[in-house]
């Protein structure tokens, strides 16, 4: 039987991580956590202005804590396979890539009967096809690094629907299928897991509930842990799954919902 290495620090020193859609929200918190734990962290986003601002803010925050952050950013539209391939090769050249976090996502509130093919396809492209593009481009770089990991940001909607509509739920169920399959295909070289957030306090959430205090109260009453989730709650789980602390975990879907979904 292989022996366990004993105590290890949760550290990403000497590792390189790519986080997509990290200019804001959950991706930003993930980038902050990984950079704080020592990773060279590469932020990709469509929104260059926000990505640059986030990179400066996170670097300052970590500097103040006496860490030595190494955060980079670039504008990458993850739905553009050529841009993804070129950017991934640029990041992985020389160092390889240790961690890929597929976080970029989109949704809209739509009923199926009124949904255009365009909306359906766009949502599938951003949430699912782009995850495939990023995984495909990263695999050769991940294979070069021992203990490499992919973490996909799925959603509770993959399990119970919601999140705006069928387009979103179907795209996230697809992400989880991709996770399950890739975990088998890439083992034992690269671990692949999903996290499934529910009700996390990002700009998206604020936009929906800021002017609906009664709805917010109702929501809180449905969450056993009695608070709205924070982006950091997701970042902690992502850091764990991406780290050597999760060295024997692959192909798993971890629901992070304060207990709301299955109470
Ligand atoms: N907030 C929640 O409650 C919640 C719940 C379940 C799942 N999620 C998932 O978590 C992830 C992050 O959500 P969030 O709430 O932080 O969203 P957000 O809208 O705050 O951030 C998403 C980021 O992705 C970027 N992005 C969108 N399309 C892109 C593209 N084509 N290429 C590159 N970047 C792109 C956006 O510019 C933005 O910075 C998403 O995958 C979302 O589906 C969120």
pLDDT in tens, 135-166: 999 999 999 999 999 999 999 999 999 999 99
Instruction: Tell me, yes or no, whether 35 lies in a domain.
Output: yes
Residue 28 in contact with ligand 1 by CB distance below 6 A? no
By residue count, the chain amounts to: 263
What's the count of helices (H) and strands (E) in the chain, helices before strands? 10, 7
Instruction: Tell me, yes or no, whether 241 lies in a domain.
Output: yes
Number of domains the chain contains? 1
Evaluate if pTM is beyond 0.75: yes
Instruction: Tell me, yes or no, whether 21 lies in a domain.
Output: yes
What are the angstrom distances between the C-alpha of 157 and each of 107, 139, 197, 208? 11, 27, 9, 17
Domain that includes residue 36, residue range: 16-200+232-253
Three-class HEC string of 50-64? HHHHHHHHHHHHHHH
Q: What is the pLDDT of residue 3?
A: 55
- Whether 46 shows a pLDDT value over 90: the answer reads yes
**Residue in 32, 133, 168, 209 annotated catalytic:** 168
Q: What is d(CA 233, CA 228) in angstroms, rounded to the nearest whole number?
A: 10
Residue 106 in contact with ligand 1 by CB distance below 6 A? yes
How is the beta sheet containing 70-75 ordered, strand by strand? Answer: 70-75, 40-45, 16-20, 99-102, 148-153, 190-197, 253-256
> Per-residue pLDDT averaged across 1-14, rounded?
78
Q: What are phi and psi of 190, to 5 degrees?
A: -130, 130
Instruction: Tell me, yes or no, whether 205 lies in a domain.
Output: no
Instruction: Tell me, yes or no, whether 95 lies in a domain.
Output: yes
Find all residues with CB under 8 Å of 65, minimum gap 6, and list them: 36
- Whether 174 shows a pLDDT value over 80: the answer reads yes
Q: Which of 18, 20, 23, 26 to mutate to test the pocket of ligand 1 (most atoms within 8 A of CB)?
A: 26
CATH number of domain containing 183: 3.40.50.720
Instruction: Tell me, yes or no, whether 222 lies in a domain.
Output: no
Q: What is the pLDDT of residue 97?
A: 99
Instruction: Tell me, yes or no, whether 6 lies in a domain.
Output: no
Omega prior to 46 cis, within 30 of 0: no
């Amino acid at each position: 039987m292989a022996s366990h290495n004993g105590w290890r620090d949760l550290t990403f020193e000497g590792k390189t991580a790519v986080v997509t859609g990290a200019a804001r929200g959950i991706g930003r918190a993930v980038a902050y956590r990984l950079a704080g734990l020592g990773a060279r962290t590469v932020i990709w986003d469509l929104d260059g202005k926000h990505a640059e601002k986030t990179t400066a803010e996170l670097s300052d925050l970590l500097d103040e804590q006496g860490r030595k952050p190494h955060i980079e950013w670039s504008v990458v539209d993850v739905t553009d396979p050529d841009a993804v391939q070129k950017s991934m090769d640029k990041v992985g050249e020389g160092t390889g890539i240790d961690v890929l976090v597929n976080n970029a996502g989109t949704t809209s509130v739509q009923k199926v009967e009124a949904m255009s093919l365009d909306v359906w396809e766009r949502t599938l492209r951003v949430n699912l096809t782009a995850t495939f593009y990023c995984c495909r481009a990263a695999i050769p770089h991940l294979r070069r690094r021992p203990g490499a990991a992919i973490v996909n940001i799925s959603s509770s909607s993959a399990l119970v629907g919601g999140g705006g509509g069928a387009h979103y739920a179907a795209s996230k169920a697809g992400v989880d299928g991709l996770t399950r399959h890739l975990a088998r295909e890439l083992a034992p070289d690269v671990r692949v897991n999903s996290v499934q957030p529910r009700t996390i306090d990002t700009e998206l959430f604020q936009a929906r509930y800021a002017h609906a205090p009664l709805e917010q109260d109702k929501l809180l009453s449905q969450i056993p842990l009695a608070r709205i989730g924070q982006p950091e709650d997701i970042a902690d789980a992502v850091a764990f799954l991406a780290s050597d602390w999760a060295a024997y975990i692959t192909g798993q879907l971890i629901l992070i919902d304060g207990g709301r979904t299955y109470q």
